[in-house]
Amino acid sequence: MANYNVTIDSINMQSEAVTRPQVIAYGEQFTCAAISSGELEIFKAQFADLMSMVGSDERKIMLARLSQYILGMRIVKQSLNSVLFTGVNAGDTELGMSLIRPQFTRNNVAANLAIYRTNWNQVLVANTWGDWIFDGAGQPMALGRDFGWVVTHLKSLTTPVPFMTEARFVVGRTGVLLPIDSRNFQLADTENNVPIIPIPTMYSIPKASFYARAKSDINGTDQVVLGGLIFGLGRALREEVPTWLP
């Protein structure tokens, strides 16, 4: 995992995360929009509010990926015509940020029926790979046209023992990632005994495809959260009932 000593205040207008023009990930090249000093200050001031309590392992992971979150925000900003970033209280046509809620993902067994997740529950069958985040059997979902995200970790809400043991992702057109072993969920091998694991950073822009599969060693229902940040227009992020379309 990256250096935990990175602090929010250490990011300035000369930092690579702020000045880097492009990001290449899993075979795709993303252009990064410019951000102003005011936008950066809003991000720094509000980022801490979205993380868990001081000393939590989730906070450590998010601090370690601080630069990736800034790059992700700039990538999404570019995709949305460089709208102004105003943070957690963004207006309808401004760029905001929040944690990833279930309703921004799909688990749709019949494609094009717009079935959004209402929670993170996922039924897992022993020793069998199954669709987890998808839109039609074996098919990726497309993110909404008004938001993108940066995924950096997975967190299970299931007690006492999580069920998910492996996961794999396909990000964008070419991003087939290696399977991730999540059995350390069962150890809660963290400072606060929280079932959470860091994973390779995944960037998704608006309308991009995203697909996830998962398996377990035994039958069970898990609640595994996509950990990270979502960036999008305020009108999409504040919705109680999802209406987003690719």
**152-175 pLDDT, tens per residue?**
999 999 988 899 999 999 999 777
**182-229 pLDDT, tens per residue?**
998 887 667 777 889 999 999 999 999 999 999 999 999 999 999 999
Task: Tell me how far apart the alpha carbons of residues 109 and 164 are, in angstroms, rounded to a whole number.
Answer: 20
Average pLDDT for residues 69-74, to the nearest whole number?
A: 98
Task: Tell me how far apart the alpha carbons of residues 129 and 151 are, in angstroms, rounded to a whole number.
Answer: 21
Task: Tell me how far apart the alpha carbons of residues 81 and 83 are, in angstroms, rounded to a whole number.
Answer: 6
- Give the amino acid at 236: A
Selection from 227, 181, 213, 236 nearest residue 69 by Cα:
227
**21-49 pLDDT, tens per residue?**
999 988 889 999 999 999 999 999 999 88
Name the CATH code of domain 99-231 (choices 2.60.120, 3.30.70, 2.160.20, 1.10.1060).
2.60.120
The pTM (predicted TM-score) of the whole model is 0.92
Task: Sort 224 into a burial class: Cβ within 10 Å, 0-12 / 13-18 / 19+.
Answer: buried
Which region among 76-85, 109-118, 193-202, 224-233 has the lowest average model confidence (pLDDT)?
109-118
- What pLDDT was estimated at residue 51? 79
The pair of three-digit structure tokens given for residue 28, joined into one six-digit string: 């795709």
Instruction: Tell me where in the chain the CATH 2.60.120 domain(s) lie.
Output: 99-231
Specify the length of the chain in residues. 246
With a pLDDT cut of 70, the percent of the chain lying above it is 95
Q: Crossing angle of helices 66-79/57-64, nearest 10°? A: 60
